[in-house]
Every structure is written in C-alpha cells, then in structure tokens.
Structure 1
C-alpha cells in the first residue's frame, strides 16, 4: 500500500534515485528498494541505521544507508528524483533550513513527498487537547493498546514544547515555506489516515490525522 501510494505520486521513471529522510528502521527505504529503485537513506543515529541495515539484509535488498544530519546532507546538488519522509519534519529544530537543503539535492522535476501530522499541537490548543484525551478514552473503551503509553509521555511533551512546529498549523505552514523556497505544484491531502493506518492506529490518532504534502522542483 505504501509502495503504491508513493509511486503514484513519484516522477515517471523506470528506476528512480530515491532519498529517504530519517529512515528509522528502514520501512520506506526497503519498500521502495523492493520495487527496484535506487534508494539512499539517511538518519542521525547509528542505532537506527544498524537496525535498518539488518532489516534490508533480511529482505535481501540493497540500500545505501548514510549517517547524516538531515539539515546538512552530504550529497551533490540535484542528486535525487524523489525525496520521501514520514513523521520527521515535526521534530526538527530548523524545518525551514531542512526544506531548503532537500530542495538543493532534489533533481529538476524531482518531487518531495512528506507524510506527517500535527502531533503535539494539542499542547497549545484546548479543543485539540480534549480530542486527544478522547482518543485515550477510546482506546480504553475498545480495549486496545494506547500507543502513547508506550513512550515517556511527559518527556515527549517537554521536548515537543521546545520544537518550532509543535504550535504551527500544518500543513498550511509547510505550504507557505515551500512556496517561499521555490517548490512548485504543491498538492496537499489533509487526511490520508484511512489509507495508511490500520483500525487501531486510527483510534489512537484520530485527533491527529496524517497528511501528505507533494511538492516539485521545476
């Protein structure tokens, strides 16, 4: 499903040069490598890169994993046809700088696909906080695992309050920044949750639907 969704928005090439930003355990990178594309993936932590590399070996695909700060990439200009990322931009210290850097390494006619959500906007909005607490109540009523209880909630909220995007209304914030940088043909889907999440995830994150931003470098 993820493979189909991404490639439906990707440039029309038989073999894409793809960059996965903040690859984590390598899910998107491996998914696209399995489709026969040339994939490079970057993450800021060696632990994640090692885990992703082990997963790539398990699935018998080649991915070029690179340790890098996503704000300052070790690649030449115009290196990639497609840049993908999921749940990354919200926790960056300087998302504007990151968008500029991704624009630099994106090839002409290349596309950026950003999957994200307003993960901690509820900390700054009473109405959203009520909806967030209703999500927690719904997990109990449905008898399913509350994903927020798997983390140190207080520490995550402390960190989120320090991040610039936690209080921004997205993806409109992203649209404005992308336009100012020079991205063109910006398309936004405000809620793709039913496409990319299972029923348990939809209950957990009902108040923070996942959006998709597609932007092109002309």
Structure 2
C-alpha cells in the first residue's frame, strides 16, 4: 500500500483542485439543490442515520461540503452542523442553499487537512466525493480522527474516481459507461465537466491509482479508527438510474469508522 506512512503530493495540487471546483461551483450547486427536493434526500438521510451514533441531536461536521447537500439535510433533521470547504465559491453556494431551506449551518472556510477545531468535538463526520481529490489523504484521516469525539463515527462515501487513468480494465468500463449513456439518451455527466483539466489533476493525486476502499481500510486502521464497516453496494440504494448508468464501472462505496 503506497503512501500509508507519509503523504508527499505537491502542495500546489491543492490550488489546482481549488481552482477547478471554483469553476464548477454554480453547476454543482444546481445538482445539489435538485437532490434536496428529490426522493434521494430521504434515501441519503436514512442511510446516514443507519450508521450514525444513536444520539437524538448530534454535533456533525460535513467535510468538503461543496454546495451543502449533507449540511442542509442534516440541519433539517435537527442536528448541529458545521460544514467546511476550502473553496469560497462552494461555500457561497452552500450558504445560499441553507438560506433557501431556512436552516442554520456554521460554514467555515478551511483546508480539510488542517481543521480549525479543538480535539474531540464532533459526534459524526460525513463526507461525499471528497477523499479522492485530497492531496494528503492519510493526513486528512488523522486530522478527522483528532476532532471526532470518543465513540464518534466517520461516514465516507466515495468511489475509485479516475482509476481508469491507471488501469486498463477500469478504462474500458469507463468508455462503456459513456457509450451506454449515449445509447440510452441519458445525460453524460462527464460531458458537463472539464475532463482535460480534471484528468491532469487526477494523474497527480495519490488516491487515483489506489484500490479503494481497501486503501481506506488500511489507512483508517493505521490512524487508530476501529469498528470499520464497508458497504460496496451503497450506490444501488442511493443513486438514481442516470447515475447508475454513468458510473456503472465506478461504484460508490461507504466506509464507516469509529473512534
């Protein structure tokens, strides 16, 4: 397992990632806004509640909140939510979505590798499609462990995004997904992104070439987490039909880990 003991991706990658998501903020917010008023919202909330600590009101940290889907949803459910992102454009969208749904969320601009919080603060950490584009993922897992309360849990939803750049079988699956989306007349989610820019970034990110969630399990154990639960079919419950076609070769997984 590479980069388990020390992450050494160039710091300049953080700026490249931030710039990319700044450009994506507005259209990504439209997707999140649609999710918040769709049937998917209830499915996501049910899944998070299934694995969260059994507390009626939790202190929740949403890491890499983007336009605030998790933050708004969990605030609506009555929890005390703090949400961080390093991209100001994303935070602006998230604040707008929270205001639209009339919920209170503490939005914080921060690098998710070095959080501005005291130790043992949060009952639950949630994150979606974030760890794959971190420059120092092991450092991030260590930092998130620090701010979790004893008995607190981390729920990470992610996938082997851009493994196709390093693995021929994954590449063929990716191309089949694009062809199937066209054949079925569905929106190709990759067609709406700057694939050249993102692939250039992904080639330098440490997790693009790793087999996940196997890498995550080893990293989490090394950081001190325990009671690790994997769900490699969670996308079948949470994705809609269009997502299922677009990402058939890159299934979403969930990792639940306890401090």
TM-score interval, smaller chain: over 0.9
Shift of 1:45: 1.2
Give distance in 2, aligned partners of 1:73 and 1:155.
27
Show CA shifts across 1:74-120 (max 9, x none). 00000000000000000000000000000000000000000000010
- Greater Cα shift, 15-24 or 191-200: 191-200
For 1:120, the equivalent position in structure 2 comes to 162
For 1:17, the equivalent position in structure 2 comes to 59
Shift of 1:191: 2.1
Q: TM-score, normalised by structure 1?
A: 0.99
User: Does residue 78 in structure 1 map to residue 120 in structure 2?
Assistant: yes
**Runs (4+) off by over 6 Å:** none
Give distance in 1, aligned partners of 2:212 and 2:167.
13
Show CA shifts across 1:26-78 (max 9, x none). 00110000000000000001111111011101101000000000000000000
Alignment of 1:16-95 (within 5 A): 16-95=58-137
Give SS of 1:114's match.
Answer: strand
For 1:170, the equivalent position in structure 2 comes to 212
Shift of 1:152: 1.2
For 1:139, the equivalent position in structure 2 comes to 181
Shift of 1:194: 1.4
Give distance in 2, aligned partners of 1:2 and 1:193.
10
Query: How many pairs does the alignment contain?
Result: 217
Give distance in 2, aligned partners of 1:171 and 1:33.
28
Give SS of 2:229's match.
Answer: strand
Shift of 1:171: 0.2
Show CA shifts across 1:165-201 (max 9, x none). 0000000000001001100000111121111110000
Give unpaired runs (5+ residues) of structure 2.
Answer: 1-42
Q: Pick from 195, 203, 213: which aligns with 1:161?
A: 203
Shift of 1:156: 1.0
Give unpaired runs (5+ residues) of structure 1.
Answer: none
Give distance in 1, aligned partners of 2:228 and 2:128.
17
Give distance in 1, aligned partners of 2:207 and 2:140.
13
For 1:129, the equivalent position in structure 2 comes to 171
